[in-house]
Each structure stands twice: as structure tokens, then as C-alpha cells.
Amino acid sequence: MVSDDTGMQDDGRIAVYNQLVTEAGDRLDAALADIRASQDSGKLSVRDAADARVAVLEEHLNRLRLLRDEYLDS
């Protein structure tokens, strides 16, 4: 176990959480880039691209909530 500045101990959960959050952010960036490319190429209308962005952002936020619950809530 590792102690942080607050005196709390963790078993590496925070490091795993941070890594998973970083990976989730990378996936979000890639998904948004794909949507942008599809819109730019005319495969998606502005409205469809906006809807797709909302969906991937909601999915990302839900993933972050799950990660927080799993790794940070004691």
C-alpha cells in the first residue's frame, strides 16, 4: 500500500484509475476526430455530427462515473 499526502492509503487503485481515465480521454479524442472527419467529408450532416458528439460525450462521462465509483469510492 502507498500513502499519499493526506495520509490515506491506496493499493495502486489511484494509479490504475488515472491510467484508465487517460485511456478513456484518448478514446474520446479519437471518436471526436472520426466524427469531425465524417462531417468534413460530407458523410455526416452538421446535425448528425452534433448528435454523434453528444452520444460519445455522454458515453465518456458515464465511463468516468463508473471508473470513479470503482476506483475512488471507498
- Where exactly are the structural domains of the chain? 2-71
pLDDT digits (tens, 9 = 90+) for 25-67: 999 999 999 999 999 999 999 999 999 999 999 999 999 999 9
Give the dihedral of Cα atoms 7, 63, 66, 70; nearest 10 deg.
Answer: -50
- Under a CB-based contact definition with an 8 Å cutoff, are residues 68 and 58 in contact? no
**Stronger pLDDT, 8 or 53, i.e. the higher one:** 53
**Residue ranges in the chain assigned as alpha helix (H):** 13-40, 46-71
Three-state SS at 49: helix
Rounded CA Rg of the chain: 17
CA 6 to chain centre: 26
